Amino acid sequence: MPTITVPLGARTYPVHIERGLVSHLGPTLREALGECAVMIVTDDNVAPLYLKQVQDSLEEAGFRTGSVVLPHGEQTKCLDSLISLYNDLCAMGVTRKDAVLALGGGVIGDLAGLAAATYLRGVRFVQVPTTLLAQVDSSVGGKVAVDLPQGKNLVGAFYQPEAVFCDPETLNTLTDEYWRDGLGEVIKYGCIGDETLFALLERCAPGGREALMAEIDVILTRCVQAKADVVAQDERDTGLRMTLNFGHTVAHAVETCQHYEGLRHGEAVGLGMHVITRLTERKGMTEPGTADRLDALLSGLGMPMTLPDIPEEQLLAAMGHDKKNAGKTLRIIALERIGKCFIHQTDTGFFQGIT
Ligand code: NAD
Ligand code: GLY
């Protein structure tokens, strides 16, 4: 199985990628954790699909297990769920040598990770991501959080897992909507640092999801490697890690204006990459032809290509371009060309005329 290492000194950990892994996770996990109890946290979409096979496999390998099934969706990533998880961990008698296992997408990973980071000042944590987004992004890098009514991810920590186990076959049960969601981030990795990945995606695009799934091991490996490289150099998100935000300035603005009820995050990221690259190419900052190449891939993979009908001043305000922020420095990620990005310091007004 391909294994990528996230090299973080004493907190170095492996990301294993293997088809069918969820059904025989027990022995592999036993090697990683030794003897301990494991609390599996999942949601009500993932539980009927994968909980029994994971739990059976863990029990067969000698783990004492418990499980918590939470409602699916972003609204679960909140303080109330965190408190309810603490209660479950107390009831199971989880100690510091025991582990929390997140089985699900980014919502479950972020929430269970924050519970693991804080319960008893930190218990062991393992990620078994089951969405494309979680496999290529949220399960690697140690950002864990819950949302507040005031905004997303406002209470959180950097808390690295002890290991990540990706089973690409779990992606077969994802809806097309969540598949596209993860695809936005996959394309992003190609754009910012991996032209070989980008070219592979171009070759697969005409065959759609099926063709991409045929190459999924390579795709996941390249994405996770890219994330591991960035996280290793900037775990605490003070510089280079910002490059993972390519396309995100516009994406966040669109999501905010749509009150998170319109485009999915990855779709908004796709749109954001399209908008920023058209803009920077027009401004002479990006190699000519880059935007056409990116747009062909985005549209070939069914990503939305037109900004929703949102007044420009509202979009700019959501990016911090309101009067209060006039003159405020803004750092954006732009492409020099496909496979190479840079951080550009600019100010308000950069995005004027995008709609
Ligand atoms: P999600 O966890 O809500 O999962 C998406 C949907 O797919 C859910 O309905 C879920 O029940 C379902 N699902 C999960 N796996 C499935 C499977 N194999 N088959 C069928 N259905 C399945 O959302 P997500 O897109 O995975 O993650 C989004 C969250 O991740 C957001 O809260 C975001 O803030 C967070 N995030 C965190 C980081 C990080 O670095 N920690 C990075 C990016 C995003
Ligand atoms: N998803 C961006 C990061 O992990 O920093």
Residue nearest to atom 4 of ligand 2 (CA): 141
CB 14 within 8 A of CB 3: yes
Q: Report H helices in the chain.
A: 25-33, 52-60, 79-92, 106-118, 132-133, 176-193, 195-204, 208-214, 216-233, 248-257, 265-282, 290-300, 312-318
For the cut 90, the answer to whether the pLDDT of residue 328 exceeds it is no
User: How many A from CA of 92 to the centre of ligand 2?
Assistant: 32
Q: What is the Cα–Cα distance from 281 to 284, expressed in whole angstroms?
A: 5
Q: Is 241 touching ligand 2 by the criterion CB < 6 Å?
A: yes
Ligand with an atom nearest the CA of residue 183: 1
pLDDT at 179: 95
Ligand with an atom nearest the CA of residue 44: 1
Which class for 211: exposed (0-12), middle (13-18), buried (19 or more C-beta within 10 A)?
middle
| Edge-first strand listing for the sheet containing 3-6 | 3-6, 13-17, 163-166, 124-129, 99-104, 37-43, 64-70
Q: Is 184 touching ligand 1 by the criterion CB < 6 Å?
A: no
What is the reported pTM? 0.96
User: How many A from CA of 267 to the centre of ligand 2?
Assistant: 16
Q: What is the Cα–Cα distance from 354 to 316, expressed in whole angstroms?
A: 9
CB 328 within 8 A of CB 300: no
Q: What is the Cα–Cα distance from 229 to 249, expressed in whole angstroms?
A: 22
Give Cα 111 to chain centroid, integer Å: 13
pLDDT at 283: 94
DSSP secondary structure letter of residue 59: H
164, β-bridge pairs = 15, 127
Mean pLDDT, rounded, for 224-241? 96
Per-residue pLDDT tens digits for 271-325: 999 999 999 999 999 999 999 999 999 999 999 999 999 998 888 888 875 545 5
Which class for 233: exposed (0-12), middle (13-18), buried (19 or more C-beta within 10 A)?
exposed
pLDDT at 325: 52
pLDDT at 244: 97
343, β-bridge pairs = 333
Q: Nearest to residue 189, comparing CAs of 162, 156, 223?
A: 223
User: How many A from CA of 162 to the centre of ligand 1?
Assistant: 20
| Percentage of residues of the chain with pLDDT beyond 90 | 87
C-alpha separations of 355 from 19, 24, 184, 306 in Å? 43, 50, 21, 9
**Top-confidence residue, 122 or 353:** 122
CB 98 within 8 A of CB 124: yes
Q: What is the Cα–Cα distance from 57 to 45, expressed in whole angstroms?
A: 20
Q: What is the Cα–Cα distance from 158 to 76, expressed in whole angstroms?
A: 20
Please give the number of the atom of ligand 2 that sits closest to the Cα of 237.
5
Mean pLDDT, rounded, for 226-237? 97
pLDDT at 327: 55
**Top-confidence residue, 351 or 50:** 50
Q: Nearest to residue 85, comparing CAs of 129, 43, 57?
A: 43
Per-residue pLDDT tens digits for 73-130: 999 999 999 999 999 999 999 999 999 999 999 999 999 999 999 999 999 999 999 9
**Top-confidence residue, 37 or 354:** 37
Q: What is the Cα–Cα distance from 149 to 139, expressed in whole angstroms?
A: 24
CB 67 within 8 A of CB 42: yes
| Helix 176-193 / helix 265-282 crossing angle, nearest 10 deg | 30
Residue nearest to atom 3 of ligand 2 (CA): 244
Per-residue pLDDT tens digits for 175-206: 999 999 999 999 999 999 999 999 999 999 99
Please give the structure tokens belonging to residue 96.
Answer: 């510091």
CB neighbour list of residue 266: distance below 8 Å, 6 or more residues apart: 133, 180, 181, 182, 183, 184, 185
Residue nearest to atom 2 of ligand 2 (CA): 244
The chain-wide mean pLDDT, for the chain, equals 94
pLDDT at 213: 98
Q: What is the Cα–Cα distance from 43 to 25, expressed in whole angstroms?
A: 19
Q: What is the Cα–Cα distance from 355 to 317, expressed in whole angstroms?
A: 13
